[in-house]
Amino acid sequence: MIVSMIQIIFEIPDVESIKDKRRIVRSVKDKLQRRFHLSAAEVDLQDSLTFAQIGGVVVSNSRSFGEMVLNKAFKMIEEEAPIRIQDMKIHSEEF
């Protein structure tokens, strides 16, 4: 079993309230879950108004498949979400 993980830290410009931030973060998580069948969660930076960190995981039997799905998910976020990516990491482990 291969577990492929993605971690994305991003900035949300022009956010004026925590409610706006939560709406955008929820939208990104929902898109990841719906389109790519990932498990996704906000994993850090909850206290920051303009930054967020999301983690996502896909389980498969192939490292290349898992990382391909995560790269497609990252490309979708980059193109569709109203955010600025600060950092992104993809990592796979075999269990």
How many beta carbons lie within 10 A of that of residue 93, not counting itself? 11
Distance CA 58, CA 89 (A): 14
Question: What whole-number percentage of the chain has pLDDT above 70?
Answer: 100
The residue extents of the domains of the chain are: 2-94
Distance CA 54, CA 46 (A): 10
pLDDT band at residue 14 under the 50/70/90 scheme: confident
Predicted TM-score (pTM) of the model is 0.81
Q: How many CA atoms lie within 13 A of 92 on its CB side?
A: 18
The model's pLDDT over 46-83, given as tens digits with 9 standing for 90+, comes to 788 899 999 999 999 989 999 999 999 999 988 888 88
Fold topology of 2-94: Alpha-Beta Plaits (3.30.70)
